[in-house]
Amino acid sequence: MTVALTSRRASDVRVIALISLAHGSSHFFHLILPPMFPWLKADFGFNYAELGLLMTIFFVVSCMVQAASGFLVDRIGARPVLFAGIGLLVLAALIYSQSVGYWTLVLGAVVAGCGNGIFHPVDYTLINHKISPANLPYAYSIHGLAGYLGWAAAPAFMVAVTTLFDWRIAFLAAAALEALILVTLWLNRARLVDDVHARRAESESKHAENNPGAAPLTTFGFMRLPAVWLCWIFFFFSMAATTGLQSFAPTALFKIYDLAVSSGNYYLTLMSIGGAGGMLLGAFLATRLKVPERIITLCFTVNIAMGLLLASGFVPLEIIVLAFIVIGLGLGIAAPSRDLMIRNATPSGSSGRVYGIVYSGIDLGAALSPLMFGIFLDSGLPKLLFIGVAVLQLMIILTGFKVSTLGHAKSA
């Protein structure tokens, strides 16, 4: 039994390492464009609303693809969908590198959105069906940690390459990095096999067990469940707040505190590093305390305070660094509790299409946020970035309590 347990744990580690590598690369591509905004603005004369619209396009496309790709994952399996998504990210970076105007950037954003839209249905389908239940909190933690590392690496990587060469070379370097990840996953493709028929049988069995005498859940039947849409709203607010900071915090800090944009980008890197560290602590707390709604409330209450403090305009420069690290820690600590809370509230035997719909809230929140905050900055109201993020995080707390209530009712 000990040998079998050790073998299963080793298999879990290898699978989550591969899935996390892919997830980290998707988060890296969330932020290859925003750090280039100052250079693109200088070369092409775009305003901040136009630049924010590029991120809106990226996430709107990703939202639609994510909702649809869950159905594709259930039909043909997660692995081919994963490879296609990563290939599209490579293509998007190549298009960005050859941009000659706004419409080329729009094309790149559309292709990148198509690539990004596949990751959550793929990742969570593989995690929930290939990782042993005892290791799920840690799997969620490592998966989320990789995402934060991707966010942390992108601004520093893109700014560093642009400073040494130019922004076109930075996009080419991003394409080469993603291509290397695709090769790595392809060489380890045997570990990412997804048994679609076994998943379907498990989903039908759990539905029958939890709903004796009920008709089988149809393809679109899950969309009538309140838990699915409350989880969607939760993710909408979460990503709208995070993307607002990622897209325009450096510009807002420049306008409020006269802080160099390059320094602001490195603050985002520190925020993501704080999130990565918080993710590890968050897994421990989620496993031991089992009070996800309280952990989420505490973390986002602290983040609200940090956002309002930054909006005041009176924060010493050395404290700004600490504020971004604290914000990152809060986001990271809350994440494993968030994933467990969502899993508890969604239907038993959740499949790719459920995760595709639920996690599409992330993309729509990220789509609308840059456009809204870009308008604030063009209107000379940079403080509204931090105030708006604080309001969104308050909505996260309120929605989280309702989602948690559904999870408790389901387990009762």
321-365, pLDDT tens digit by residue? 999 999 999 998 998 888 777 777 666 555 677 778 888 888 888
Task: Please tell me the least confidently modeled range out of 12-26, 284-298, 344-358.
Answer: 344-358
Compute how many other C-beta atoms are within 10 angstroms of the C-beta atom of residue 281. Answer: 14
Reply yes or no on whether the pLDDT at 1 is more than 80.
Answer: no
The whole-angstrom separation of Cα 147 and Cα 149 is 5
Reply yes or no on whether the pLDDT at 164 is more than 70.
Answer: yes
Taking residues 30-37, what's their average pLDDT?
90
pLDDT category of residue 239 using cuts at 50, 70 and 90: confident
Helices and strands, number each (H, E), in the chain: 15, 0
Q: In which residue are the tokens 């347990």 written?
A: 5
More confident residue, 377 or 49: 377
Give percent of the chain above pLDDT 70. 87
For residue 4, what pLDDT is reported? Answer: 58
The whole-angstrom separation of Cα 354 and Cα 170 is 36
The whole-angstrom separation of Cα 125 and Cα 202 is 12
More confident residue, 345 or 16: 16
Tokens representing 71 are 């159905």
The whole-angstrom separation of Cα 100 and Cα 89 is 19
Taking residues 202-214, what's their average pLDDT?
60
Domain annotation for the chain: domains and CATH numbers: 13-188+226-407 (1.20.1250.20)
The whole-angstrom separation of Cα 234 and Cα 362 is 9
- By the 10 Å C-beta count (0-12 exposed, 13-18 middle, 19+ buried), 7 is classed as exposed
Whether residue 39 contacts residue 167, with contact meaning beta carbons closer than 8 Å, is answered with yes
Reply yes or no on whether the pLDDT at 214 is more than 60.
Answer: no
The whole-angstrom separation of Cα 324 and Cα 328 is 6
Whether residue 366 contacts residue 239, with contact meaning beta carbons closer than 8 Å, is answered with yes
The whole-angstrom separation of Cα 8 and Cα 16 is 12
Q: In which residue are the tokens 């291509």 written?
A: 179
Report which residue type is found at 98: Q
Q: Rounded to whole angstroms, what are the CA distances from 69 to 62, 64, 84, 103?
A: 10, 9, 11, 26
For residue 263, what pLDDT is reported? Answer: 84
Highest mean pLDDT among 90-104, 124-138, 184-198, 248-262: 90-104
Nearest to 85 by CA among 119, 56, 110, 121: 119
For residue 290, what pLDDT is reported? Answer: 79
Nearest to 136 by CA among 336, 348, 277: 336
The rounded mean pLDDT for the chain is 85
For residue 412, what pLDDT is reported? Answer: 47
Tokens representing 210 are 């939890």
The whole-angstrom separation of Cα 189 and Cα 273 is 29
Task: Please tell me the least confidently modeled range out of 14-23, 96-105, 197-206, 310-319.
Answer: 197-206
Report which residue type is found at 168: R
The whole-angstrom separation of Cα 293 and Cα 140 is 17
Q: Rounded to whole angstroms, what are the CA distances from 207 to 210, 409, 412?
A: 5, 16, 16
User: Please, what sign has the CA dihedral across residues 257, 259, 261, 266?
Assistant: negative
Q: In which residue are the tokens 């809370």 written?
A: 341
User: Please, what sign has the CA dihedral across residues 402, 406, 408, 412?
Assistant: positive
For residue 19, what pLDDT is reported? Answer: 94
The count of C-alpha atoms lying within 13 angstroms of the C-alpha of 153, restricted to the half-sphere facing its C-beta, is: 18
Taking residues 71-99, what's their average pLDDT?
93
The whole-angstrom separation of Cα 186 and Cα 184 is 5
Whether residue 266 contacts residue 317, with contact meaning beta carbons closer than 8 Å, is answered with no
The whole-angstrom separation of Cα 250 and Cα 263 is 7
For residue 286, what pLDDT is reported? Answer: 82
pLDDT category of residue 198 using cuts at 50, 70 and 90: low
Helix (H) or strand (E) holding 326: helix 317-345
- The per-residue pLDDT for range 102-140, each reduced to its tens digit, is 999 999 999 999 999 998 889 888 887 788 877 777 888
Those residues with Cβ within 8 angstroms of residue 25's Cβ, 6 or more apart along the chain or in another chain: 86, 89, 150, 177, 178, 181
